[in-house]
Amino acid sequence: MSSTSSTTKITLKTLEAIKRKAERFACVTAYDATFAEIASSAGVEVLLVGDSLGMVVQGHDSTLPVTMDHILYHLDTVRRGNRGALIMGDMPFMSYYSEGLTLENAGQIMRAGAHVVKLEGGRWIAESTRLLVERGIPVCAHMGLTPQSINRFGGFRVQGRDPDQAQTILDEALFLEEAGASLLLLEAIPAPLAQRITERLHIPVIGIGAGKHVDGQIMVMHDLLGITPPDIKVPKFVKNFLAESQTGIRGAFEAFVKAVKDGSFPGPEHSY
Ligand code: KIV
């Protein structure tokens, strides 16, 4: 495959316009040039170089072992394969615990080809968000089931089921929007809560296991293709789009994009 420069066609403005028109956008994780090309050519608007790579690429049982070097390596490959999607780079576990480290690491992620950095957390990431945004680095805040905190949660558990916790998630989402976050990603929370948050926020909201009433849907690429390693428990919000594809892997990505945009995915069977 020949390498091309990654001129971004999709920008944050594109995603904001999609939200304003009450339409939807599609996002997937990507970890290499080949799949970045396939997904972006299929119409996926956002490619996430996620720390899920620790589980689906490296074979760990959590995302905690992922380092900055790993993210930078995979970002560089995704950047070369990308055909116009917005690239989001994950800040790995413990890479944003101080101001200096946050700026240094986010800067490296942007230099490696990301257009947005993603941080997991609630109110406590507001200062980092402000700091980054002031310096021109857009932030996606990741809330709900934040995999870097599984040891605190006691496993991969749905968040926001009780009313107090749901209110906290809503309040903190508003707080992070106020702090300057450009995107919010909600993972594994009840669909009605995700809908409430999406209606209250002006920034685009991306969901995974958060029901259909959000602005964008994201899925881990391996889940979309039904090739998640068998020792990883596949959550109910996952759908294998390769199983029904008549045109192989490209067709699976195209079917995912179409299903997100026409609202047929996720269905109630994929939601909490
Ligand atoms: O790291 C990742 O792939 C993610 C997605 C599950 C949203 O954060």
Angle, in degrees to the nearest 10, between helices 99-111 and 126-134 = 50
CA distance 95 to 64: 11
Q: Which pLDDT belongs to residue 180?
A: 98
Flag whether 164 is in a domain. yes
CA distance 127 to 123: 8
- CATH classification of the domain holding 138: 3.20.20.60
For 81-120, the pLDDT digits (tens) are 999 999 999 999 999 999 999 999 999 999 999 999 999 9
* CA-closest residue to ligand 1 atom 2: 50
* Residue 95: inside a domain: yes
pLDDT exceeds cutoff 50 at 176 = yes
- The reply to whether 2 falls in a domain is no
Q: 41, 83 in Cβ contact below 8 A?
A: yes
Residue 244 located in a structural domain: yes
The answer to whether position 4 is within a domain reads no
Q: Tens digit of pLDDT for each residue in 125-147? A: 999 999 999 999 999 999 999 99
Task: State how many domains the chain has.
Answer: 1
Radius of gyration for the alpha carbons in the chain, expressed in angstroms and rounded: 17
Ligand 1 midpoint to CA 104 (Å): 22
Q: What is the distance between the alpha carbons of residues 212 and 266, in angstroms, rounded to a whole number? A: 6
Tell me the pLDDT of the chain averaged across its residues: 95
Choose the catalytic residue: 187, 244, 254, 269.
Answer: 187
- 111 SS3 class: helix
Whether residue 229 lies inside any domain: the answer is: yes
Q: Whose CA is nearest to atom 1 of ligand 1?
A: 50
* Within a domain: 5: no
- Domain membership of residue 185 as a residue range: 12-270
Give 65-78 pLDDT, tens digit per residue. 999 999 999 999 99
Residue 223 in any domain: the answer is yes
Q: Is 187 a catalytic residue?
A: yes
